[in-house]
């Protein structure tokens, strides 16, 4: 009964007494299971959880592992492990935590600064990796724990999805007391705790609370525990822990290993455009890259706004719709606050009512803040031409020349990598090695729920073609040395010519140092201030085979990282692409240009010889055409037969 009341209160619905008039759409555990299959890779699924941490303003995210005894359906146990992701974000109270399990609920739609938009990432991401997810979160002195478990839901043999949830209050001395919500039955906490202990990696309430205290910070934070991990046919974990990293061994259609490995650390390298968080795997910092400055010859230009008017109307409609949805959410919250205020007038010392009033007020303020943010976004739409404020960044990948590509981001988060040209294409040399980077607002080009592609393929294709044209313009204007075969041979591209596919030989220190000097390979993210700083070759060379944690120089007085110098800031500046600059050429085009110059010089000499002969001929006939014709001297074509002077024409015939 408490579940039905909660659902009605959260949705702001006033259900009639007795049997509901309409049927209610129910979400079954099979839907929860299939929801995890939208992600093509476990690493992609884990990134959904990282996205939530960043949206909660976390500065540090850590993923780790631990062992436990997994309970089987037949009552036996086996050795297993679980993964857990911890962040130091704002955390959640009980009401906010329960919102995370609602399918499709999100206050972040319409906010281009938020990564999450669908309210589905936590559920789909966790169910892709394991079948049981325990969410533990702290906000202030309030701890909340809830569990979404497929084995538990399957054991019920029903159609409804039940999520056990418990809350604790932390006292001044660290003691934990259970929290009872307004209108909640006494036995609910004990029943929910028993289910969590039965299906999670934790055997006792004490071990569960100790785990939260150990991993969550002093004020706020969240931990997501993933257990009942997915296994392959050979009973091995799909997502394996190897060399302080999480890896997936790729297999073909028959289930045989292909030899290629996909690691989480590599997946994360270019995931965020402007990373504001440090990510650690087993206390080792992931070497995130600075996408805009990682490649040679970085430049930027504005996305062409031609043909973008069709996006403007749709973007406006989307933002208005999200604004209306959040405005509608405010009404039931305001009604609840009026009701609670009336109850407090009769029971002014009721702690449960005061706590409920505080939570409702916080949620109302959150809705108001989100409304203001979306209104600001709505006010900016239409002032400029659609797409006129979107920058496209370019660079040259010296390590993978045969993979020209565009990396599409949405709200600063990578969505997909789209090839510019296929290897062997006749136009391949026009964009050879070019990497384009663009951040498209989610309101302009919405993504699919798996965050691996975009909803409207036609709109995406149009933008991709516009970027390809700008990529050609960029490649035309970079230094001509990047189009000379001798330059690429110095980096190891000497076997298959311009279509060599794979990366250069970075085991050669001279080659690696040359690439290091021309690119942003040496930029490292500080684990404290989270800014990217350039390191010298020697320091980079020492750490290249290690995932050593990097920190800036620290100011002894303030204890903070030393701010960037003017020289550093100037070095980080990316120049705008000069669309009027003169194009440079390939080796073969340069040879053609030289040949054309030689032909011009030869023609000039031939014309000079003809001119001398004409003068000599006119002199021998005692009639100088130069005395009577000035046109011949000025004629640029030197085709004297076209001259309008009859005397000159006659002399030429002689």
CA distance 434 to 482: 11
**What pLDDT does residue 385 have?**
52
Per-residue pLDDT tens digits for 241-293:
998 899 998 888 777 888 888 999 999 999 999 888 999 998 889 989 999 99
Q: Which residues of 307-344 are buried (b: 16+ CB within 10 A; e: fewer)?
A: ebeebeebbeebbeebbeebeebbebbeebbeebeeee
pLDDT at residue 144 in the model? 94
Tens digit of each residue's pLDDT (9 = 90 or more) over 204-234: 999 999 999 999 977 899 999 999 999 988 8
pTM (predicted TM-score):
0.77
The CA distance from 36 to 128, in Å, is 4
Angle at 45 between CA 41 and CA 51, to 5 degrees: 140
Helix axes 646-653, 587-620, angle to 10 degrees: 100
CB 81 within 8 A of CB 67: yes
Residue in 516, 525, 518 with CA at minimum distance from that of residue 61: 525
**Rounded to an integer, what distance in angstroms lies between the CA atom of residue 208 and that of residue 147?**
12
What pLDDT shows up at residue 105? 58
Strands (E), 89-219: 130-139, 142-149, 165-170, 176-178
Low-confidence stretches of the chain (pLDDT beneath 70): 1-25, 103-119, 181-183, 306-311, 381-388, 422-426, 494-507, 543-547, 585-593, 616-654
CB 394 within 8 A of CB 435: yes
Q: Does residue 295 contact residue 397 with C-beta atoms inside 8 Å?
A: yes
What is the C-alpha separation between 129 and 123, in angstroms, rounded? 10
Three-state SS string over 559-572 comes to CCECCCCHHHHHHH
């Amino acid at each position: 009964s408490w579940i039905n009341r909660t659902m009605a209160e959260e949705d702001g619905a006033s259900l009639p007494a007795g049997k509901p008039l309409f049927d209610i759409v129910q979400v079954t555990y099979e839907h929860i299971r299939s929801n995890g299959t939208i992600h093509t890779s476990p690493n992609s699924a884990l990134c959904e959880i990282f996205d939530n941490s960043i949206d909660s303003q976390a500065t540090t995210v850590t993923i780790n592992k631990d062992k436990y005894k997994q309970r089987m359906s037949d009552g036996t146990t086996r050795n297993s492990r679980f993964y857990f992701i911890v962040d130091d974000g704002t955390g959640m109270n009980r009401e906010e935590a329960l919102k995370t399990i609602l399918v499709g609920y999100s206050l972040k739609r319409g906010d281009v600064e938020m990564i999450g938009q669908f309210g589905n990432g936590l559920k789909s991401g966790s169910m892709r990796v394991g079948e049981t997810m325990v969410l533990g979160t702290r906000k202030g002195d309030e701890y909340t724990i809830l569990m979404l478990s497929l084995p538990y839901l399957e054991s019920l043999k029903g159609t409804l999805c039940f999520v056990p949830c418990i809350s604790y209050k932390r006292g001044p001395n660290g003691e934990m007391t259970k929290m009872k919500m307004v209108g909640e039955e006494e036995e609910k906490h004990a029943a929910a705790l028993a289910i969590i202990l039965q299906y999670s990696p934790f055997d006792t309430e004490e071990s569960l609370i100790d785990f939260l205290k150990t991993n969550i910070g002093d004020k706020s934070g969240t931990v997501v525990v993933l257990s009942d991990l997915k296994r392959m046919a050979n009973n091995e974990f799909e997502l394996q822990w190897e060399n302080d990293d999480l890896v997936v061994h790729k297999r073909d259609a028959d289930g045989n290993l292909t030899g290629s490995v996909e690691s989480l650390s590599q997946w994360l390298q270019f995931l965020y455009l402007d990373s504001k968080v440090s990510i650690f795997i087993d206390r080792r910092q992931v070497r995130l890259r600075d996408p805009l400055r990682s490649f040679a010859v970085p430049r930027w230009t504005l996305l062409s706004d031609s043909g973008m008017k069709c996006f403007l109307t749709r973007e406006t409609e989307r933002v208005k719709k999200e604004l209306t949805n959040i405005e509608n959410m405010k009404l039931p919250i305001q009604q609840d606050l009026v009701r609670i205020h009336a109850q407090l007038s009769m029971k002014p010392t009721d702690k449960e009512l005061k706590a409920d009033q505080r939570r409702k007020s916080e949620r109302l303020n959150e809705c108001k803040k989100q409304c203001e943010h979306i209104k600001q976004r709505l006010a900016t739409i239409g002032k400029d031409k659609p797409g006129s404020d979107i920058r496209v960044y370019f660079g040259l990948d010296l390590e993978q020349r045969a993979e020209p590509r565009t990396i599409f981001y949405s709200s600063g988060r990578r969505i997909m990598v789209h090839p510019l040209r296929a290897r062997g294409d006749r136009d391949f040399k026009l964009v050879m090695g070019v990497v384009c980077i663009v951040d498209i607002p989610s309101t302009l080009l919405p993504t699919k729920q798996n965050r691996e592609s975009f909803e409207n393929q036609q709109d995406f294709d149009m933008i991709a073609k516009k970027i390809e044209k700008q990529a050609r313009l960029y490649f035309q204007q970079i230094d001509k040395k990047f189009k000379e075969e001798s330059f690429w041979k110095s980096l190891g591209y000497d076997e298959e010519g311009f279509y060599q596919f794979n990366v250069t030989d970075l085991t050669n220190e001279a080659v690696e140092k040359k690439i290091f000097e021309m690119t942003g390979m040496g930029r490292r993210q500080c684990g404290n201030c989270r800014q990217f700083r350039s390191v010298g070759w020697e320091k980079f060379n020492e750490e290249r085979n290690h995932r050593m944690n990097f920190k800036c120089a620290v100011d002894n007085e303030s204890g903070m990282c030393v701010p960037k110098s003017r020289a550093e800031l100037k070095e980080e500046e990316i120049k705008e692409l000069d669309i009027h600059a003169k194009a440079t050429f390939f080796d073969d085009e340069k040879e053609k240009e030289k040949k054309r110059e030689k032909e011009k010089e030869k023609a000039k000499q031939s014309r000079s010889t003809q001119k001398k002969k004409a003068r000599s001929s006119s002199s021998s006939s005692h009639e100088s055409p130069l005395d009577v014709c000035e046109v011949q001297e000025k004629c640029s074509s030197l085709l004297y037969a076209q001259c309008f002077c009859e005397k000159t024409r006659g002399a030429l015939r002689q």
